[in-house]
Amino acid sequence: MKRIIKLNLQVGMSSKIEVNDYIAICLEYNKILINIQGEIFQELEYSFLDKIINENKDQLEEAKIQGKISENNHKIDSENKNFIKFVRILKLWIQNNYDTDLLLYDFSFPLLKKLVEVGDPLAKKVFIHEILKNLWGADPLVVRYLIKEKYDNYVALYKYRTEIHNPKFKEIKITTFLCIINILFYIFFAEIYHIEILYIFDLDKILNNFEIWRIFTAIFMHSERFSLFINTFFLCSVGSYFEVNSLLSKSGYLIVYIISGMMGNIGYTLMSSLLPYYITSAGASGAIFGLAGALFIILILKRKYYWSTIFCSICIFFYVYTINPRINFISHLFGFIAGIITYLFCLFIYQHLIASDRFLV
């Protein structure tokens, strides 16, 4: 469907053209204003406008602009003609997926960057590609401009998000904190005061005495040294990799950890009616399996399909290995599934609400 744009080019009156859903161009007397979603982004002088037009004469003549511009009967001076040409150049730029080769680099890159900030999905898709294309194969002046304006930093950010990074001790503060909490809980409540029975997951106490807090406290309470050692080891292994490779904030890490642990216990509560027995449950294994599920999604999002297959195979092995009456394997399975769902939900919230002004390309 062709779009008809009507221009009001009367002398002394302002003209406004919506080039697409994000960009609007205003002609107000001797000024040209570029608006991005209703806010003034840049004010252009006619000298700069002439420079843009001169640089794009060939493209402008060959371009097949979708739609047509309907002009009124008033006299159009040379400035208004340049205004129309400028609008056509922008439409050409948009139709060619924001190809920065079609516009002056010191105009197109800031404009493309702003479109990314306001959430234009096409701009997000091509932003990194346009930077890489010009860094590797463009004019030296363009390369110098991109480096001076620090556009190469966005390439580094993109590279960071697509690679798997090995954790360093100073980068795993949340994982270290959780390990310390688990150890202290065990020392104080199991070794010193011997009251761990009040905090572990006991289905009978939850159903009959309504001791609901056990669903939460059981995440941090271990009943024996061996399970504490194993869970601490795997928490350091899985949790540290999740912490340094996740796009989420530190609070997102804790949300995945706690909800996965609680859902693991709740899942066991729901499935217990199908079992001929019930068991007490203690430890962070459900939460750790939740981090494992979230890390599995991270591997896929970072396009590490080979490593994601290996990682998933390891998780399946440990799940199958723990299927015996003494280990709450149901909480492991529910924790793994809850970790996947919780992480995807947190990632959705993070991208659309918390980080709407960041470049998630």
Q: How many other C-beta atoms lie within 10 A of the C-beta of residue 318?
A: 17
Please, are residues 315 and 298 in contact by the beta-carbon 8 Å criterion? no
Give the pLDDT confidence of 63-73 residue by residue, as tens digits.
444 444 444 43
Question: What is the pLDDT at residue 76?
Answer: 40
With a cut of 80, say whether residue 5 has pLDDT above it.
no
Question: What is the pLDDT at residue 79?
Answer: 55
Three-state DSSP state, 28: strand
Question: What is the pLDDT at residue 262?
Answer: 92
Q: Distance between CA 92 and CA 289 in Å, rounded?
A: 51
The full set of domains in the chain, from first to last, is 1-95 (no CATH), 98-162 (no CATH), 169-354 (1.20.1540.10)
Give the pLDDT confidence of 101-122 residue by residue, as tens digits.
888 888 889 999 999 988 888 9
Question: What is the pLDDT at residue 206?
Answer: 83
For residue 271, give every residue at least 6 positions away whose Cβ sits within 8 Å of its Cβ, in sequence order, or none: 330
Give the pLDDT confidence of 23-43 residue by residue, as tens digits.
888 877 667 888 888 888 888
Most confident of 2-11, 76-85, 214-223, 321-330: 214-223
For residue 54, give every residue at least 6 positions away whose Cβ sits within 8 Å of its Cβ, in sequence order, or none: none
Mean pLDDT of 176-198: 91
Find the helix packing angle between 140-148 and 121-137, rounded to 10°.
120
Mean pLDDT of 329-343: 90
DSSP 285-342: HHHHHHHHHHHHHHHHHTT-HHHHHHHHHHHHHHHHHT-STTS-HHHHHHHHHHHHHH
For residue 277, give every residue at least 6 positions away whose Cβ sits within 8 Å of its Cβ, in sequence order, or none: 325
Question: What is the pLDDT at residue 356?
Answer: 42
Q: How many other C-beta atoms lie within 10 A of the C-beta of residue 344?
A: 14
Please, are residues 19 and 37 in contact by the beta-carbon 8 Å criterion? no
Give the pLDDT confidence of 254-281 residue by residue, as tens digits.
999 999 999 988 888 777 767 666 666 7
Q: How confident is the model at residue 8 (pLDDT cuts 50, 70, 90)?
A: very low
Sheet holding 39-44, edge to edge: 15-18, 23-28, 31-36, 39-44
